[in-house]
Amino acid sequence: MLYKPIDKSQEPFPTYSDADHGGNTNHGKSTGGDLVKLGTGAISWSSKLQSMVALSTMEAEYISAVGASKEVLWMHQFMGEPSSSSILLMDNQSAISVSKNPEHHGRVMLQPC
C-alpha cells in the first residue's frame, strides 16, 4: 500500500462505520466496526461486539457510528486540531437521518441490556 497525503480540499480523517444486526446468535448482540483514514491509509480500525442488544438495524448502525465518532474526536485532539471536522460515512439511511436531525433523538430508545 502506498500512503499519500490528502488534498488540502479534503477533510482529515474520513471515517467509515458499519454494523450487523444481531449477528451473534448466542445472545443477539450486533458487531460494529469502523475505519479511520489519514490521507490514503488506514490509521485506526475496530471491530467489536456491541455492549447492548440493538432492537433494530438502525440502532446497531447508530451505536457503531457513535463509537466511530468518538474515535475521530480523539484523533483530532491527538493531532492538535480539536475544532476540525471530518466526514463519517455509513450506509443506513435511518441512522443517517437520526444523526442529522436532533429532533429524532427523543424518539430513539437506546437501552442497555
Q: List pLDDT tens digits, range 89-113.
A: 999 998 888 888 766 555 555 544 3
Read off the pLDDT of each residue in 16-43 and give the average, rounded to a whole number: 91
Between CA 6 and CA 18 the distance in angstroms is 23
- The answer to the question of residue 85 being in a domain is yes
Residue 6 lies inside a defined structural domain of this protein: no
pLDDT number for residue 74: 92
Contacts 24+ apart (CB under 8 A), 46-55: 46/71, 49/24, 50/19, 51/112, 51/113, 52/110, 52/111, 52/112, 52/113, 53/22, 53/27, 53/28, 53/29, 53/113, 54/19, 54/21, 54/22, 54/29, 54/30, 55/109, 55/111
With respect to residue 50, please indicate whether it lies within any of the assigned structural domains: yes
Q: What is the pLDDT of residue 104?
A: 59
Q: How many domains does the chain contain in total?
A: 1
CA angle 57-60-63, nearest 5°?
Answer: 145
Averaged pLDDT of the chain = 84
Q: How confident is the model at residue 72 (pLDDT cuts 50, 70, 90)?
A: very high
Q: Is residue 5 part of a domain?
A: no
For residue 10, being part of any structural domain is answered with no
Length of the chain (residues): 113
103 lies in which domain range? 15-107
What is the pTM for the complete model shown?
0.80
Place of cell 465518532: 69
In-domain check, residue 81: yes
Asked whether residue 59 is assigned to any structural domain, the reply reads yes
Residue 60 falls within a domain, yes or no?
yes
